[in-house]
Amino acid sequence: MNDTYRTTEAGRLSGPPARPFAPGPRDTLVTGWGFCLPGAGEEPVRTGKQVWETASTGTSHVERDGFHHGVVRGAREAFTELLPEMPTRYLRSYADVHLYGLVSLAEACADAGLDHRAGDLRHAAVLTARAGVDSNYDSYRAWHDADPATIGPADAKSLFVRLVVAGTSSDVGPVQAALLASTGASFTVSCGCASSSVLLGLARMMIADGSADLVVVTGVDRFDTERVLHGHRLREVVEREGVTVRHNSDPPADPRHDRPMRPYDAAGDCMNYGDGSVTLVLESREHAAARGARAHGALLGQATTRGGLGSAVAIDTEGIGLAEAARRSLGDHTSLDQVPYVNGGGEGDPLFTRIEANAVRRLWGDRSHEVLLSSQEACFGHSGAPLGNLGAALTLMMMRESQVCPTANCRTPSPVCTFDPVPGTLARPLSFSRALSFNYQVGGVNSALLLGGADVC
């Protein structure tokens, strides 16, 4: 087998043919995806086609009216359209995160050709990733602030139900499992921006060891705009008192939101939050084949590490832990020479550019400049828990299309970059069948996914 790189018409290096990968019945295939992300108008981005149209052109749906935040609009209308049988009284108890999660779940099931009404997912494991706490805070606050002397019985009961449903970080899981009438495993992972990436690794283990044939993984978060603005005001107080808030600090300073995020850009100095949900349907090869399902691609490996830091809020700026996670995810069947693309976790703060630049240099050494690494976080905003799922889905779309999406809002690459961040608004031609996807969080948790295209399957 020839392990030299192939050159595309655009002159970019593409990956060599993959080493033989022996398929097995317990391989993990991605057979469905669904979304509920910020859109350009009054409707959310819900389908893979809409996600691709946004990401492949570097389009940003983050608000630009002085406060930059990815807002999901129309989730309740989408919920009613997709799940008309759901009692309207549920809307009194469901927070926005539940609606986002149900919309992406319904879209993913439809994309996978699975009918939850017919019981197709009755034995599915239902795993959810959460990072934010806004819906939990809101449910407790409403319950706590209610006046027993004036509230009516129906409203008091509604507040109690809402507290039970939305009072913990596992809030989305029971709602989704109830819709599917699932008898499978159901649990939640909350480790910041790496949450859904870590869950994908756990789902792969469950499929590999035979404890599940079908796993639904949803990452969902919502960031209250008024609280984000409050943080921005606190930052202004610090600056007004003459205390310098350093960019590129460790941990990063409280982000500003008065300008657009620019991952890997020389002018990048902030991040923008974004709300939303992404759901992936994972199946064993055997289960998918038995029902004639088509695969978007395969999850070939995942690893989670921590940088060994002595601080609970620090980040491994040298990229040591992230590089180690990448190496572990490759297993014994994939070499770095077969991986020409990485979907990055860059969100705009120069600190995160430095982390990934150091990790890429540690992995590819003198060839790091040949690696394409791009981020689409500026398309929808930094959404927290959904990011691992979104990165996996986008990477598989890129393999299918033989194109790498640009880094949204990146115009002039930072001199810190040891890789090609694909600046601009045009997708870059690249034929590849293996790729990595990075996620990490403050505190030192790193996750790396190894993904394979449909041809690997």
**Alpha helical stretches, state H, 262-310:** 285-290
Q: How many domains does the chain have?
A: 1
Q: How many residues does the chain have?
A: 457
| Phi, psi dihedrals of residue 394, rounded to the nearest 5° | -60, -40
* Torsion angle (degrees, nearest 10) of CA 54, 59, 60, 61: -50
- Any bridge partners for residue 457, and if so which? none
Q: Is residue 139 part of a domain?
A: no
**Which segments of 83-133 does DSSP mark as H helices, in order?**
90-93, 96-112
Closest CA to 421 of 336, 348, 337: 348
Please tell me whether residue 351 adopts helix, strand or coil conformation.
helix
pTM tops 0.85, yes or no: yes
Q: Would 163 be classed as within a structural domain?
A: no
Closest C-alpha among 231, 91, 230 to residue 166: 91
| CA–CA dist 261, 267 (Å, integer) | 9
> Nearest CA to 329 among 194, 455, 421?
194
CB atoms within 10 A of CB 181: 12
Rounded to an integer, the average pLDDT of 364-386 is 97
- 74 in any annotated domain: yes
* pLDDT for residue 456: 63
Task: Give residue 387's identity as a one-letter amino acid code.
Answer: L
CA distances from 454 to 299, 301, 383, 398, 432 (A): 11, 15, 27, 11, 11
Contact (Cβ atoms closer than 8 angstroms) between residue 221 and residue 128: no
Range name among 26-40, 58-72, 128-142, 214-228 with the lowest pLDDT average: 128-142
Residue 1 lies in a domain: no
Q: Is residue 198 in some structural domain?
A: yes
Residue 16 covered by a domain: no
Q: How far, in Å, CA of 241 to CA of 408, rounded?
A: 34
The encoded tokens of residue 31 equal 């057979």
Contacts of 397 (CB under 8 A, 6+ apart): 48, 51, 52, 55, 296
Instruction: Decide if 314 is inside a domain.
Output: yes
**Is the model more confident about 403 or about 315?**
403
Within 37-106, strands assigned E span none
What is the arithmetic mean of pLDDT over 46-58?
98
Which DSSP category does 183 fall into? Answer: -
pLDDT tens digits, 247-273: 555 555 556 778 899 999 999 988 899
Question: What is the span of the domain harbouring residue 88?
Answer: 21-132+169-226+271-452
CATH number of the domain bearing residue 428: 3.40.47.10
Residue 329, both tokens:
């995810």
Extract the tokens encoding 51: 């996600």
Asked, for residue 239, whether it belongs to a domain, the answer is no
Write down the pLDDT at residue 9: 36
Q: What is the pLDDT of residues 332-371, one digit of tens each?
A: 999 999 999 999 998 888 889 999 999 999 999 999 999 9
